[in-house]
Amino acid sequence: MVELDLRQAAWMALRKQHLTDETAGDGAVQIARDVGGLHATLAATPYLSLLARCPHFTRADLDDALYVSRRLVRLRCMRKTIHIVPTDMLQAAYAATKAEVQRDSWRYLAYRGVAPEVFERLSADILALIAGRELSAAEASLAVGPSIPLDALRRRGHPVTSHPVVGPRDPNDEARPFGCVSCHAPHGSDGPSLKRFGGDDPTSFCIRCHK
């Protein structure tokens, strides 16, 4: 058995990751393949990762591989986070991580208060929408439309049919008008569906205004 000290083990890891001068990579696709995918949850991360591994890398190299030649693709896979993998590795990466990613996704949907039937309906709508064409996430969202069934004037309909969603005065803050942010915290909340207050019991939420 070959024994390695810490320095040798670190050197081998650096070589495997294309982080030494003699193992510098030769292109975004090859590097993504060799390291098992580039972490890409933050938009800048894969560009910095490639710049550290390929001396002649430019931003256009990755953009071309992702959006023109389509030799690379983004996928939520390892550690349930976004990675960039070669297109011919897509099926293997998806199959290997599908179960874990789906379990986490269902937990997140439950936390956000999205019922399974709503998710299935929206999924079917989006798949039908993008069949045979390409759309950005913003374009798909606009085309699918709001998932909350508001009235024609978009002034009532949530969380129940007759409930207003806009108004001149917020019952909990008279200095501002009533709107979505009166009940929901768009930048994060510990409550389900980004509720500002109240627990899982709807009554504890409603009585903030309806006393």
pLDDT of 161 > 80? The answer is: no
pLDDT reported for residue 202: 63
Domain ranges of the chain: 6-109, 114-144, 148-211
Rounded average pLDDT over 40-62:
93
Share of the chain above pLDDT 90, in %: 36
Confidence band for 81, pLDDT divided at 50, 70 and 90: very high
Q: How far is CA 65 from CA 33, 81, 85, 102, in A?
A: 13, 20, 11, 27
d(CA 6, CA 3): 10
Rounded average pLDDT over 41-64:
93
The residues, ordered by sequence, that sit 6+ positions from 52 with a Cβ below 8 Å of its Cβ are 19
* Cα end-to-end distance, the chain, whole Å: 75
Confidence band for 50, pLDDT divided at 50, 70 and 90: very high
pLDDT of 145 > 70? The answer is: no
pLDDT reported for residue 182: 85
Q: How far is CA 127 from CA 34, 73, 137, in A?
A: 32, 18, 12
- The winner for highest mean pLDDT among 9-23, 30-44, 98-112 is 30-44
56 φ/ψ sector (left φ>0, alpha ψ -120 to 50, else beta): alpha
pLDDT per residue as tens digits for the range 84-143: 999 999 999 999 999 999 999 888 888 767 778 878 888 888 888 888 888 777 677 767
pLDDT reported for residue 102: 92
Element (H, E) at 39: strand 38-39
pLDDT reported for residue 143: 73
pLDDT per residue as tens digits for the range 168-189: 888 888 888 888 888 888 777 7
Confidence band for 74, pLDDT divided at 50, 70 and 90: very high
d(CA 192, CA 201): 10
- Could you tell me which residue, 112 or 29, shows the higher pLDDT? 29
